[in-house]
Amino acid sequence: MFYEACWWVIAPVVRGLWRVRVEGRKHVPRKGPVILASNHLSFLDHFVLGSTLRRQVFYISKMQHFERPVRRWFFTRWGVIPLRRGEGDTEAFDRSVEVLKGGHVYAIYPEGTRSLDGKLHKGHTGVARLHLLTGAPIVPVAMIGTFEALPKGRSRPSLTKCAVRYGPPLDFSDRRAQVEDRKALREITDEVMRAIQRLSNQEYVDEYQYNPEVKTHAGDERGSNGGPRKAVKKT
């Protein structure tokens, strides 16, 4: 009920200020679990994306956003899952799985952090692992214009036009037995990123976006906002 009330207040303001255009919304199921895999250009992405759907969208966000009492209060009631970056946060991963198994909408940014140059960077494999574990379809999403509106490092947004473009769902359920196969996870993730790139028309960089907030940069194994990492036993 709290999310619903906030949606009626905030969504119209967001859509009005940034004249948000929506394309392909028909690709998002009206019920049942779905993973929205999006590029990540701005802090505005959460609000712009959420304003385009009537279903509640669950997100994951870094633990630092929960340090301030007021923000923690709102985030908790909005269904935002806290993530300890760079620590292989299995609790966040398990909660993400629960959200999808509960039939909800879960938004994930495979790049792991906001793009610093407006380009699309290599994705982390959390999105593939969540898909194979839950069977939820992956709907690729392109955020357009949010980088120009509020790039990382800027405090005040510009009221430029923005758009959200949804693509046809991706299904790799025939590979569910490969959930612990790193090669399979990499292949699925790369396919998801190609789908996002086709929607966004961004230049693609086959390297992870450097995040100065994270001390380590361990590639696929790290979760970040690109998907909480499920610990993998080393052999």
Instruction: Dump pLDDT digits (tens) for 80-129.
Output: 888 876 655 688 889 999 999 999 999 999 999 999 999 999 999 999 99
Is 2-226 CATH 3.40.1130.10?
yes
Three-state secondary-structure class, residue 101: helix
- The Cβ of residue 23 has, within 10 Å, a number of other Cβ atoms equal to 15
State the Cα–Cα distance between residues 55 and 3, nearest whole angstrom.
Answer: 10
The pLDDT confidence band at residue 225, using thresholds 50, 70 and 90, is: very low
Helix, strand, or coil here: 142?
strand
Note the pLDDT tens digit of each residue in 26-77: 999 999 999 999 999 999 999 999 999 999 999 988 777 677 788 788 888 7
- How is the chain split into domains, by residue range? 2-226
Helix (H, G, I), strand (E, B) or coil at 207: coil
Q: How far apart are CA 158 and CA 147, in angstroms?
A: 10
Rounded to an integer, the average pLDDT of 228-235 is 40
pLDDT at 18: 98
